[in-house]
A and B are shown apart, each in its own frame.
Chain A
Amino acid sequence: MNTRSTAMVGTANDLAAFALVAFGFLWRPGQNARLEFAGGAALSLAVLLSLSRAGAALAVLTLVAIGVLAALVSTPRTTFRQVRWLFLGAYVGALIALPTGAPAALLGRYVEERPPDSTSNVRQRDLEASGGVRLELWEAGMRTALARPASGYGPDALPFVYGRHRQESETLDLYYNYQVESAHNILIDLTITGGFPLLTVVLAAIISGVWISFQSLPRREIAPIIALASFGGFGGMALLNPISIPTLVYGLVLLGLLTTGNRTYILNPRIAFSISVVGFVVLVASLVFSFALVRAESTAAEARIAYLRGDYARAMTLYHDASEIMPFERWYAVEEFAAAVGLAAKTNQPDALARADALGETVHRRFHPLIAEVLTRARIAYLRDPNDERVEELLNTARSLQPSSPTWQQAIAEVRR
């Protein structure tokens, strides 16, 4: 049961981070009263409805920063005239949010950080201590980043390497069966993704865009006050939470808008033709890819429904189809394996167990494994033949994937029971 408003752009914090960065597109106060009123209202509404405490605090700080920056570049009277619609909009947004109960929830009535997970042994009260978990995730993330500082592990690769680098910790073990996709700090995540070169390039881009715009505030006729303040608020969120696709796109486009060029070009016909040809080829390829991806996702959605209904045979077929449409997606292959395991457990037939065993092997020949999948394979191999040599081999792989997690080590020890 999901009790948080997480559907818009990912998690609650994603929604708040998105609202903060999108607010920056208003650029500066005093430009367009109606737009600023709507933007201010949308910011406070989205942030309050997100129920993200960090987001709400950073939104307030962003509004304060806008007021301060505006006061720095003009007189108090002009500042008031410039920011009044923005602030009035934010106030009206908060008033609209009041009947929904979101502001009250933010002030303490809301007790849950995450919905209870029936498959997990994580207790609700344990999840409330998100600050401590964050610090430990940062530490684990830094260890991961430092293990491959030159080139990183590639984008979104953390779930495959996190277990090897995390320390022994009771707090982290509360989340032992969650796939940790982010270190909850953009700087650490960037280093894990592309090593120190990516971190350096992103910091250089931020300095080029934000810092130089900030320095030129008093001199510029169209000072990007809201953009800078909101980029600061978004930066604060990104230092505490993962980013999602919309926040990444909005963040880079906002940074692009802050990094204006000073030499004007109109492409000459020959270069324009070459770029057009390249653009056209890429467009056709990306359209084909996109249609395939959406088709694969629709098939996977049907497979998910079949799985939830207990129709494992149909789920297997559909996940297999999805995997054939989009062979780069690991999830479809893994879910096909999971459906095969479900079918074996349901029918209790040796053939079904053998098929699950074979599918597990195929999946891990194609993709890197996670510990839960390795243990499932080990258990299947053990059930088929307790003396199978692969059991010890798989358990050794599992040990290497999560060497510092007592909970996983206990699960490894229980495979042969």
Chain B
Amino acid sequence: MKRTLFLLLLLIFFSSLFASYMNVAVIGEIRSLNPYFLNSTAERQVIGYIYETLLSTENGKTVGLMAESWEVDLPNRVMHVTLKDQLFHDGKPVTAQDVAFSYNLTVQKRLPMGPVLAYFIRAEAVSERQVDLYFRVLNASVLSFVPMAIPVIPQHLWADIESPRDFPNTTNPVGSGSMMFNNLTPQTLTLDSFHEHPDAPKNIDGIVFHMVQDETMGFLGLVKGDYDYLYWNLDPSLASQLLSNPGRYPDIHVATTHGESVYVMLFNHRQAPTSDVHFRKAIQDALNYPEIVQKVFRDYAGLPYYGILPKTASHVVDEALGIPQQDLEKAKQALAASGYDGSTLKILCFSSKEYMDMGEYIKLYLSKIGVKVELDVKGHESVMAEMKKGNFDMVLTSFSLGFHPEMLYYYLHSSRGILQDGQVSGFNYGGYNDPDMDAILDRIWTTFSEDELKESFFDLQARIKQTVPMLPLCVPLQLEAYSTRNFDGWLVSETEGVFNTQTLQNVTPK
């Protein structure tokens, strides 16, 4: 008895030595694997390997993930979906019943999936592989949001869960994604390759996600060979040091790809002088964009287009609109044309280093044209609270627009900026109100053809350049560090970076 036990232990020990798991460091904690309640970046990063949604985006286009095909019946606000033939990790097939259950659970249990509850009514399984989704409101944005947000969970494991709100799902999370759960400890999450899935990693057994507290520790692990990839954006100083001494750490590489979030400055359109387009243009012309990029981001950021959208939104971005440039004379003229009375304005600003530095530079440039500003630095929660109240002159923030450019609707449409009971009704915090812009945005939401969509987006960007509802500042690059010490075959994609599906399929242990 004892001997077999010993042999068994030995076997486990050796198999663990020979098993090839890729080691990936994530910053922060993975506390729960409940796909409806994701609270940390790390959780959002890993959950997609376990659970899947019906649709997804790839290079700006909508593609089926669990859905083989789908049809939209716009007048009746119904979406008909046909499922692929798939299995859950426990071997049971994914049925239309499961999909309907997952969607209805969101509604019945009032799960906080953004605006889903506002737009979605219910789902119904029509056959083994077909499911109908009924909407209260249906447009391009809802379509690109709801089926990409709601995870599909197995009904046989979730039917008995009374309150999903306090269900951590950390003992046996079963989904249909490319990897399946092995174990979760306070420091690691181990996922095994789920070979039934077409996207499952072929040459490795799985991934161990290590939760680290800060970048320094992650980087040291990468140098030592403990980790193969750091799942975050590298600090620009560290990246510049790595890239300038390539010989120092021969195994370590930095993948530099285009970013998808844009730093912007929002204006309060409800009051002078920020409601005046001349004033906003004066500010746009006063800033020295290359200097911000160089000083704050060590050159690891792209210059913004007039149309705000970043390069990663490649299917709709209008690069011909050009890049804003500093022109103090033009700025002074525009300022003179505006009703600016010389009062001191406040820039609301998050208390993190890059925002504060950007704010300081903007303050410096604006002093050159005679606009007086002060930084109003606050913690994240307080800034958000002020923004929701519409209580600011200007505010620095960032929007993630690379993969969902249609989100601009929420930031610019006048219906999203109504101030009632002291709260802004949507994300248009500054209350920008422009009927022409509204018309373009409405068109984007009801367009399903690719060409028309592109045209509408071009109109949108031209209108943004003309009226400057918000000011694009820069687009930080994505800087990812990976090591070729243990694995070969990393593939860098311009839009998705280095840690993408192709890489996972392609990497082989050395």
Q: Answer whether A and B are interacting partners.
A: no
A residues whose Cβ falls under 8 Å from a Cβ of B: none
